[in-house]
Structure 1
């Protein structure tokens, strides 16, 4: 059982590496569209000059942190915070706006806003579980 508790943070880290790399690459490949979608958001249009670059860099950086055991905890904290921010943004959009384009990446943009919210809530919970297990079981024995 203890082995499973150690492997879960690793598997979740791989999941987030794939998710963040996929999202970042999708945004880079169609950067102009991504930038336009952020500009179209009433909540983000004031930040459309630097936010697209920032999101891509942060997603890539967190993915890199998750690749190494020594930085995995920081990467899981970053994953939790980033997914919490994305989830809050989507929840706010659902409450305040209609018919906005999704700037998340090819597969994710096919989801409805409510599906996307549930997906993100699941990612927040997953990152929190992995972080808790990583903090508890991934420390070297003294």
Structure 2
């Protein structure tokens, strides 16, 4: 029961992040698109990513909200957040001018805070994977006496 509650809280936090991030990008679409086009690493893919990133974030939010897709949603959020974090680290390591196409409050964070923020959500996703896998392995508890095996005399 406790694991189920924690899985629900972790899912909710990730859902809120994914929906917020996607809507912030779509709300300020021109700035998001411009930021993607200015990135030396992803500019060649900007046309695809400008729709794929918010769509993926919303898809992950849906997956996390559906119990039968939750584990896949945790894996997807782990991969996406890890990719975002690695992208920032690579950009900071090799380029001077780093465009931010995050949108909303996330755009106001310093790069160090942004990396730490992302890593928290990478860890939350990993924790969600671990808890959901354990929760799924545990056999359901049967509470009715009708579920008890018959006694033979």
1:45 maps to 43
- Structure-1 separation of matches of 2:101 and 2:114: 12
Q: How does 1:56-135 map to 2 (within 5 A)?
A: 56-135=54-133
Q: What's the offset of the Cα at 1:21?
A: 0.6
1:32 aligns with 2:43: no
Q: Secondary structure at the match of 2:82?
A: helix
Q: What's the offset of the Cα at 1:71?
A: 0.9
Q: Secondary structure at the match of 2:96?
A: coil
Where does the alignment leave 5 or more consecutive residues of structure 2 unmatched? 141-153
- Structure-2 separation of matches of 1:129 and 1:113: 24
Runs of 4+ in 1 over 4 A off after TM superposition: none
- Contact persistence 2:74–2:129 (CA under 8 A): yes
Q: Please identify the structure whose Cα radius of gyration is greater.
A: 2
Moved more, 103-112 or 131-140: 131-140
1:13 aligns with 2:11: yes
Where does the alignment leave 5 or more consecutive residues of structure 1 unmatched? none
- TM-score where L is the length of structure 2: 0.86
- Contact persistence 2:92–2:98 (CA under 8 A): no
- Contact persistence 1:73–1:134 (CA under 8 A): yes
- TM-score where L is the length of structure 1: 0.93
Q: How many residues align?
A: 140
